[in-house]
Amino acid sequence: MSLTRDLVRLIRSKEINQRDLDAAALFTLDAVANALAGRRTEPGKKLLALSERLNASADPGRMALLQGGLTHILEMDDLHRASVVHPGCVVVPAVFALAAETGVAGIEFLRAVLQGFEATCRVGMAVGQEHYRIWHSTATCGPFGSAMAASCLLELDEDACVDALGNAGTQAAGLWQFLDTGAMSKHLHAGRGAEAGVVAAELADLGFSGPPQILEGQRGLFAGACPDANPAALLAGPGQPWQLHETSIKPWPSCRHTHPAIDAALELSARIAPALIDTITVETYQAALDICDRPVPDSVYEAKFSLQHCVAAALNMGRIDFKVFEKQPRSEMADCRGRVTLRASDPYLSAYPKDWGAAVTLTMTDGVRLSAVRHHCKGDPEDCLSPDEMRAKARMLLEFGDVGEPEKLIDDILAMAHGGPPPVLPILTA
């Protein structure tokens, strides 16, 4: 036996009801909308150019690479808090890449999405918090999810599925070093995570073996990259709802670590005159500081990973959208960013990663202090986006991506939960 086999059995034994299918369709919609909007960005155009060069339309692995990368570019894709992974950008692209080849029905498509999310998130919860300091968990845990989803579509038996996850896991990689320069590597992490699972499952379908103890083995993932691994988390709570239901949807296009502080700052923005702010204190958890302590962001991407900029923009502009990260707003927010102090403190330190929280405290020039606290924020399961809000977000992204007939695409994706077929996506049409 192995942990991988136990994981496969746990996932394949879980029941699926209509609520699960409806939720999976909404998360699929979110991933698709992010991918199609991502085509309009500079990194997206480079991914499209590579895909044309490689004739990606004829290769499911390369299509998964393309769509996975595109899905993660705008920083609006989903996030599972307990594992700190973005499951949608690796799982949904893998399923779409194989859907046309397998002729899968819509409900089976969504079954694969649910299974892929489950594997990604459970592995993510097991790798431990220290892993995330160096390794981008979406890149290292994502291949398990894309392989699980692809194995479902290819109808692999248990042994072959274990092989697929073993070979997906041996491809696990993705380092945070790109943050120092704002390089485009994070998008590659999502794309390669999606591609790795597709390739691993297709090889398993041909009898290509993989290491069954890829997680717990002496030379496996836990030993190599997880100083505080928690193997028990992999199989904990088998009767719990699907992990997809525990996944958050982003309402704002920035790193999810900035969102609790954004949410609190937006509350305060309606109560103050920004010019009268003297100091701003943000209290949150350590991982948010490790990733998003960036007082002088020099690019759009760095601004999306800057707690200082996100809080300053929320307080001064009363909104967070694509425009607030551009050059002129970055310049205009410089003085306010300089008044921001970041601090890691309880209760946010000890609550993370189960809860992602923050407090924003303003001291005004007249000495008045104002605070807003968030133990979670908009888009989390405790305050989830409604189906109408999910549609509105998708519509905004699809319009940004210049997609014709966005309402039809939205309807077609959501119809999969009720027997409709998977739609054909205009991914390669920039």
Domains 3-251+382-418 and 256-374 alike in fold: no
Domain range summary for the chain, segments of one domain joined by +: 3-251+382-418, 256-374
CB 125 within 8 A of CB 95: no
Q: Does a cis peptide bond (omega within 30 degrees of 0) precede residue 60?
A: no
Strand partners, 247: 80
pLDDT tens, position by position, 130-186: 999 999 999 999 999 999 999 999 999 999 999 999 999 999 999 999 988 889 999
CB 181 within 8 A of CB 20: no
Burial grade of 157 (CB within 10 A; 0-12, 13-18, 19 or more): exposed
Phi then psi dihedrals of residue 358, to 5 deg: -165, 160
CA distances from 374 to 211, 223, 347, 371, 409 (A): 43, 36, 11, 10, 35
State the DSSP code for 357: -
Q: What is the CATH number of domain 3-251+382-418?
A: 1.10.4100.10
State the Cα–Cα distance between residues 323 and 306, nearest whole angstrom: 15
SS3 180: helix
The one-digit pLDDT tens for each residue of the chain (430 residues) are 899 999 999 999 999 999 999 999 999 999 999 999 999 999 999 999 999 998 888 899 999 999 999 999 999 999 999 999 999 999 999 999 999 888 999 999 999 999 999 999 999 999 999 999 999 999 999 999 999 999 999 999 999 999 999 999 999 999 999 988 889 999 999 999 999 999 999 999 999 999 999 999 999 999 999 999 999 999 999 999 999 999 999 999 999 999 999 999 999 999 999 999 999 999 999 999 999 999 999 999 899 999 999 999 999 999 999 999 999 999 999 999 999 999 999 999 999 998 999 999 999 999 999 999 999 989 999 999 999 999 999 999 999 999 999 999 999 999 999 999 999 998 876 5
* Model pLDDT, residue 430: 52
CB 131 within 8 A of CB 233: no
pLDDT tens, position by position, 49-106: 999 998 888 899 999 999 999 999 999 999 999 999 999 999 999 999 999 888 999 9
CATH architecture of 256-374: 2-Layer Sandwich (3.30)
Burial grade of 62 (CB within 10 A; 0-12, 13-18, 19 or more): buried
Pairing of strands 369-374, 358-364: antiparallel
CB 156 within 8 A of CB 201: yes
Average pLDDT, the chain: 96
CB 48 within 8 A of CB 411: no
